[in-house]
Each structure stands twice: as C-alpha cells, then as structure tokens.
Amino acid sequence: MADAIVLITTDSDMVGDAAKRIVELDGVRDVYSVAGDVDLVAIVSADRFEDLAQIIPEGIAKVDGVAATQTLMAFRTYSKEDEEAAFDLGGD
C-alpha cells in the first residue's frame, strides 16, 4: 500500500468546490479544509507508489481551482489502534 498526504492551495473562491471534486477521485480517502499556509489536505492511498503519479498530478492537480500541490510520501504508518492491537496479541 502506498499513502501520501497532499497539501493543496486553491483559488480563494474555489476551496469548497475543489474539495468536493477531489474527494470524488479514485484513491482519495479524505479531504480536510484547514487553516494555515494551504487550503486543503488530501489523504491518498493506492496499491503502488507508481499509482500515486496518476492520482496526484493527473487528478488532484488538474481539478479546477487547484493552484498548487505539495506531496508528502508516507513511508511508515503509526497509529494508536495498531499499537493497542499489538499489545492485545502479547507484543512488546
């Protein structure tokens, strides 16, 4: 599994419309409207890292209203649920 976090800057009047279009793209799990230097954050998952090249530059970046993207590739996932499950199985 390949995951990425995509920081998205939009035209100021297109935040909501862009978010609605982005979340409909295959591979996009969630889109968050955020405060700060960017307008939206998308969580993207694909079977392979190569698939992200289709989803992000060919999908997200081409949505009307998207001005710029910055992609953070995830190498490893840490979650509270995974940690608790390991302890339930006797992991240390």
pTM: 0.85
Q: Tens digit of pLDDT for each residue in 62-81? A: 999 999 999 999 988 887 76
Per-residue pLDDT band at 40 (split at 50, 70, 90) = very high
For residue 44, which of 12, 8, 85, 82 has the smallest C-alpha distance?
A: 8
Look up the CATH number of the domain holding residue 70. 3.30.70.920
Domain boundaries, position 42: 2-89
Phi and psi (nearest 5°) for 80? -60, -40
- pLDDT higher than threshold 90 for residue 16: yes
Could you tell me which residues come within 8 angstroms of residue 33 by beta carbon, excluding any fewer than 6 positions away? 15, 16, 19, 39, 40
- Looking at the structure of the chain, the number of domains it has is 1
